[in-house]
Structure 1
């Protein structure tokens, strides 16, 4: 289960790190995925010195193992871990960025009491992956996803299927030959696959890997599974997404050779708009009984393959499902703007339905009132399984939403709130993702925005009869509600635990804790909870204890400086991970006694590496702002000697501290591991490039050099950087930042821009090349048009071409005299390779020094193949050596 930590000390959480985990480069490492800073460690010193050893190599980076998931059994006696194998020869690649590809993972079971190890799977011999391990409620079985080939199926497998492992016998069995839909970890089909409820009564999606992939199945009880499967012959997105374009091109080539079939593919708009293939785009809901091997098909529901969502919620009585399905993209209209268009939840049409959990059932689609004609989010079932809470809006182009109670029997929905609007935010505090709690069958508790300007959002008790009570008005903070195992509700507000008094409709104080204590809670706020986890800082470590919903506190246990990654608090077991430059150690503690049980150690080779010295440098950026830059000094650094320096840039990123800096993580994958560049004798600097807020976002383009050059000057003033040997590089928005810088200054001797944007007017309307093979809707996969708002543009190119030109590096290419290497994947889903091609031609036609390398089959992350990772790294180093030698 996921955990969220509430910090009471100012500055102890770097919120921006969480943003960058989403916007920059996502890594499948438990410590990042649950967004918890390591507890028990003091703030990093101004510099950290290496322990000695050999320099890091790119092969070392590719050899790292990654802990993808940890799950404690219901009895607390065992922990299931999903561990990704290194990117070594013999594996199958090209299915996803190598460091997040679950099809190279295995499941291992380790006793939390003795440390005994049981290998549940061993997929290396057949290049198979096993992941998304989920315990049955009685702890006797593990369900999981796998690409395991059987019979004549090819090495590495040809689909993702459902498997179940029996703990008593060790038997691993495939449940069905049909594939299961998979949520792509860098976005893609079924981005918000969301099956919830069932045996654990959860109210959020069951996760395969926290924040990155949601499970297409759940346990209904100790021996039955509910799963979404694909139509017969369809292939999971994990295997299909990156191969579909190649199959489409191959089919075109065959048709051209035969000369008998046309190869035209149409897309349409307005009256000429074409429907997508709903016979192919379906999810078939099935139940699997692992005792007798029976499989029952409940029915099929439509899906939408781009930016879509499928929500399936099991009723508390286990008899039926509430469904919120995605039907298709909303067609933009002239003169009307889609609100929050950068969030997929607002750009896709959805439909609400109900279906019984019986074979051959028919979906009954709900009839919603005009004010809820466009449902946005499905919330909790009522405790009597008669209602569901739904948030909806009246029209595709309005931002006001209302909360409705929709009866399952086809009766008339009740509008619980009037239309309201709140500033859209990402993450758990988003209005649409906030939990809604039922109190019986006639009342709900929901957090609502204040209608007054500047007012805060409070939790209200809302009756279906129209009565309303503000429950948190008198609290210092609105806090967060949680459902208890006994059916009640409690709230955490600041450092205080409250209980909802249903009789008096008030909140009563249960317990308080001091400012040195952090509260760690389950990420699923609706799943019944008995205890919370408290962490009290004690010197260089932390003391953990539980706090029951009744306010009873248990004894303290030393966390040994680890970060909680899973817990079974009713059994008093907590899994912790401790990661540093020497590797990752995972261990278990029990809250009723001192001591720890070692469970697993990963990447011990890291202890052999000389990571160089890290420093945090203060400097003054644009408009006199005080900023920080993270710096890595090369192994064997000699004070007084000036070094060639590489600046890794990413517009919008800010360095805060050595502990929380995203790009200082030694586990960064592939070409994104900054220590690999430092190991070549370079000083590496990551400057802060803050983004202006609100309507001034477009001015960020003009402030890039003003934030980066002072950072380089400061490093020169400190006697570290050689002013004549400065280079700049970056990827994605960082690639755009490189192009921007080189059009504004000649200060750098070399530049490397990877997967960057050069011209926003063309970028906004580019097709995603990964959409080939989706008849009629290929144009709808691209979301560039909706993400242009991030750069401060609110109109289409033809309506505001001047602003597009002002922030597009292409229009400043004549000023670029720095030797530039551009690297791009020809199947880049975000920034088409034409972005680099255009910029290259702008330099080519002026006779400037430039090189463009296009990688066949590579996507935006430039990490599909280990061979490509090695080649990109080598080319980058050679480019720096050619234009900025390490030694004078």
Structure 2
């Protein structure tokens, strides 16, 4: 018997070369072309952070890339979270390299360069509510630290002995006033983390007793009792009061696994949410059982508001039947709000109202009262700064339609303000302009009592023109206060007073800078530059960019952004990459709406395919790939519609005279990678493909994907039809697969690329599989993004031809 087994193994091994399974290719990290390398290594532009009092400006420069050393740090992956094993700081936290402060409205005022603590990783800048101070954190070898800065001087001081807990609620601060706050900290003397047993002492057992529980394919779930103990050890935190004047801190009598901490009213109460056992091996931490509690500002428990059970047994698109989504009022009333389902959480139930908003008032001894019923599913509650109203938003999932109401917090019922498709761009009313209260809460800014301010992208068929509107809550009247010209592109950020507006202005040749604009009855007055950031990538200004609109065979409007290399000459037909991401629409008119603007400053992320233009390729970026139909069954036509889209894109590129249809590749990231693999499997339109961090076998995501609401067993033929893995023998074009080794996105675990590679290699396909060490769904290390650029460029040169070859 042993001899037979050995013979079978040897026979199987002998077959490997005949089915194309090659040995690993050890190349090391490769660098892209000098032109791409120069752009990757350019200095980052600063972020502009305006203080809540509108007087100060922080210019924040963050490190563009992680290091391989950072990716290799010991990281715990528990309950859907990833965090540094030594300090609890979330993995991938951006590092602050430089911080400068200055007066907002005086560009000639001297800048104060904040001397950051040496060593460690500086992160998590935030303003105090009055703008007089700011906070940063430092991850050091000793732990995570909290530092307080004075805006006037830029001087930093560490809060002694304090170790912020970042595992469950990173950056969560409950401001009691402008200088007092409560945050979660690592408990003193918590001891050593639980050690893994050297020898397993019991089997791991899970059970489901007759109740359906459709769960998405999450990454980093708990897998054992030791994982549970480790998660609880790192997640437990103590509520700690801090005074920014004296830097004194005091632990409050509350230690638990807190996921949320909010101040209530004017800081007289705290609303907390904490996780409890039992944990789950199929859900992430935010679906674990939760207890919502009201506490005094001293941390003492006043009342239990709700016990939210584990979120299992919930159908796709359904919600829990009991209380959910809790809000602490930012107003003097100090009320607590939450939402309850009136349809049992079942989206298929036929009911007049699906949800209702509840309110519990001080002294919190009575029963909660109903504030508002909604015919559709609750989405969001935004409080106004008048203390009397809120904006209540619901969504009709069947129509992909959203509606916003003005909700009086006391007395009368709400009334609708505006409604539109979820994907609407051209007629989108904008989103409310917010401001910060002394208690740190963000509220909708009102103007003159009966108006709110709405800022929007101002999408048009010719591109975006951002705007700022004054919207009357009394009669729905709209007054346009500002709209960007065609050029330069200008986004309204902050209304200082009725006559002065701060904008973010940019053009194809100028990077984003803050400007101060005068507003008057006759239009826009003088404009003054508030910042003067220089262009760090002038070489990109030579790239030619154009928005191209056209139609597919059934009349649906499509578009793409065409990028031509700096050395492109009129009439040349270059090898071309089409890069796209499918989106579902219920309305063909909305599917064709254009996004973006040709008048914006061109900046490119490290892994962007746009950098391929510097190697001579034409890139058709953001090529629209709409899937139109009834949202319940829209994916039934997925393959037919992406094929129709692709044909129209190729035909338009050929018509423009920039592309050779015989030398075109298709690519995408995540769902775009899924699209690219399907196009190669079911059409002969493209000569090569690039698929990054995708999912290719839909039987591994059996309870829905993207907007698909049916499970594998409800739509088995569809799941198989849309799995390019099942059609591996049909993928004859060369396919480059790239995946992060530590991909934590739902449904796109590295196994997806690994199995597709094995399927293609085993059936004689031409395929290359690149697994990036330590990288997640996106790629962050300089070595990784450089290597990705090299891989994509070499792949296209190999199978489409070198665009600069004679």
TM-score normalised by the chain length of structure 2: 0.72
Which residue of structure 1 aligns with residue 338 of structure 2? 390
Does 2:120 correspond to 1:180? Answer: no
How many Å apart are 1:226 and its aligned residue?
2.3
Does 2:725 correspond to 1:810? Answer: yes
Would the aligned equivalents of 1:392 and 1:401 in 2 still touch at CA under 8 Å? yes
Which residue of structure 2 aligns with residue 696 of structure 1? 633
C-alpha distance in 1 between matches for 2:345 and 2:470: 47
Match 1:295 to one of 249, 253, 258? 249
Which residue of structure 1 aligns with residue 423 of structure 2? none
Alpha-carbon spacing, 1:857–1:89, altered in 2? closer, same or farther (3 Å): closer
Does 2:634 correspond to 1:719? Answer: no
Alpha-carbon spacing, 1:119–1:296, altered in 2? closer, same or farther (3 Å): same
C-alpha distance in 1 between matches for 2:374 and 2:465: 45
- CA deviation profile, 1:446-466 (whole Å, cap 9, x unmatched): 66799xx99976445476xxx
Give the aligned CA root-mean-square deviation in angstroms: 4.9
Alpha-carbon spacing, 1:544–1:610, altered in 2? closer, same or farther (3 Å): closer
How many Å apart are 1:216 and its aligned residue?
1.9
Where do 1:490-501 residues align within 5 Å? none
C-alpha distance in 2 between matches for 1:658 and 1:329: 45
Which residue of structure 2 aligns with residue 826 of structure 1? 741
C-alpha distance in 2 between matches for 1:393 and 1:557: 40
C-alpha distance in 2 between matches for 1:793 and 1:69: 40
Would the aligned equivalents of 1:110 and 1:117 in 2 still touch at CA under 8 Å? yes
Would the aligned equivalents of 2:562 and 2:618 in 1 still touch at CA under 8 Å? yes
Where do 1:559-638 residues align within 5 Å? 561=488, 563-564=490-491, 566-567=493-494, 569=496, 574-589=501-516, 591=518, 595-602=526-533, 604-621=535-552, 623-638=554-569
C-alpha distance in 2 between matches for 1:864 and 1:819: 26
How many Å apart are 1:684 and its aligned residue?
0.9
C-alpha distance in 1 between matches for 2:292 and 2:276: 10
- CA deviation profile, 1:254-304 (whole Å, cap 9, x unmatched): x8xxxx433989473447997675453234222111233321122435447
How many Å apart are 1:607 and its aligned residue?
2.8
C-alpha distance in 2 between matches for 1:263 and 1:665: 60
Which residue of structure 1 aligns with residue 415 of structure 2? 472
Where do 1:753-764 residues align within 5 Å? 753-764=691-702
Structure 1 window deviating more from structure 2 (680-689 vs 222-231): it is 222-231
Would the aligned equivalents of 1:614 and 1:658 in 2 still touch at CA under 8 Å? no
Which residue of structure 2 aligns with residue 286 of structure 1? 240
C-alpha distance in 2 between matches for 1:64 and 1:105: 11
Match 1:361 to one of 292, 300, 304? 300
Alpha-carbon spacing, 1:547–1:99, altered in 2? closer, same or farther (3 Å): farther
Give the secondary structure class of the aligned counterpart of 2:615.
Answer: coil
C-alpha distance in 2 between matches for 1:720 and 1:737: 24
C-alpha distance in 2 between matches for 1:60 and 1:369: 50
Which residue of structure 1 aligns with residue 292 of structure 2? 352
Which residue of structure 2 aligns with residue 114 of structure 1? 106
Structure 1 window deviating more from structure 2 (700-709 vs 582-591): it is 582-591
Which residue of structure 2 aligns with residue 507 of structure 1? none
Does 2:329 correspond to 1:375? Answer: no
Where do 1:332-731 residues align within 5 Å? 347=287, 349-358=289-298, 361-362=300-301, 364-366=303-305, 374-381=322-329, 383-385=331-333, 387-393=335-341, 397-398=345-346, 400-416=354-370, 420-423=374-377, 431-435=378-382, 458-459=405-406, 461=408, 469-470=412-413, 472=415, 477=418, 521-522=433-434, 526=443, 529=446, 561=488, 563-564=490-491, 566-567=493-494, 569=496, 574-589=501-516, 591=518, 595-602=526-533, 604-621=535-552, 623-652=554-583, 656-657=593-594, 659-660=596-597, 666-674=602-610, 676-686=611-621, 687-693=623-629, 694-699=631-636, 700-731=638-669
Give the secondary structure class of the aligned counterpart of 1:851.
Answer: strand
C-alpha distance in 2 between matches for 1:70 and 1:330: 39
Give the secondary structure class of the aligned counterpart of 2:706.
Answer: helix
Give the secondary structure class of the aligned counterpart of 2:99.
Answer: strand
How many Å apart are 1:737 and its aligned residue?
1.2
Which residue of structure 1 aligns with residue 439 of structure 2? none
Give the secondary structure class of the aligned counterpart of 1:838.
Answer: helix
Larger relative contact order, structure 1 or 2 (CA cutoff 8 Å, min sep 6): 1
C-alpha distance in 2 between matches for 1:880 and 1:300: 58
Alpha-carbon spacing, 1:478–1:623, altered in 2? closer, same or farther (3 Å): closer
Where do 1:186-225 residues align within 5 Å? 190=168, 193=169, 215-225=171-181
Give the secondary structure class of the aligned counterpart of 1:435.
Answer: strand
How many Å apart are 1:328 and its aligned residue?
7.1
Does 2:795 correspond to 1:879? Answer: yes
Which residue of structure 2 aligns with residue 504 of structure 1? none
C-alpha distance in 1 between matches for 2:366 and 2:732: 68
Match 2:753 to one of 829, 836, 842? 836
Would the aligned equivalents of 1:581 and 1:611 in 2 still touch at CA under 8 Å? no
Structure 1 window deviating more from structure 2 (289-298 vs 609-618): it is 609-618
Which residue of structure 2 aligns with residue 103 of structure 1? 95
How many Å apart are 1:131 and its aligned residue?
3.8
Give the secondary structure class of the aligned counterpart of 1:569.
Answer: strand
C-alpha distance in 1 between matches for 2:483 and 2:665: 49
Structure 1 window deviating more from structure 2 (843-852 vs 624-633): it is 624-633
Does 2:142 correspond to 1:163? Answer: no
Alpha-carbon spacing, 1:298–1:701, altered in 2? closer, same or farther (3 Å): farther
Does 2:19 correspond to 1:72? Answer: no
Aligned residues: 685
Alpha-carbon spacing, 1:368–1:858, altered in 2? closer, same or farther (3 Å): closer
Give the secondary structure class of the aligned counterpart of 2:100.
Answer: strand
Does 2:65 correspond to 1:128? Answer: no
Which residue of structure 2 aligns with residue 866 of structure 1? 782
C-alpha distance in 1 between matches for 2:190 and 2:675: 40
Which residue of structure 2 aligns with residue 851 of structure 1? 768
Would the aligned equivalents of 1:755 and 1:833 in 2 still touch at CA under 8 Å? yes
C-alpha distance in 2 between matches for 1:418 and 1:58: 57
Higher strand fraction: Structure 1 or Structure 2? 2
C-alpha distance in 2 between matches for 1:114 and 1:793: 53
Would the aligned equivalents of 1:614 and 1:631 in 2 still touch at CA under 8 Å? yes
How many Å apart are 1:161 and its aligned residue?
2.9
- CA deviation profile, 1:595-649 (whole Å, cap 9, x unmatched): 5554434452323434422223334326442322221111121122211111112
TM-score normalised by the chain length of structure 1: 0.66
Runs of at least 5 residues in structure 1 that lack an aligned partner in the other structure: 1-53, 183-188, 194-213, 236-246, 305-309, 334-340, 424-430, 480-514, 765-784
C-alpha distance in 2 between matches for 1:317 and 1:637: 61
Which residue of structure 1 aligns with residue 216 of structure 2? none
Does 2:262 correspond to 1:313? Answer: yes
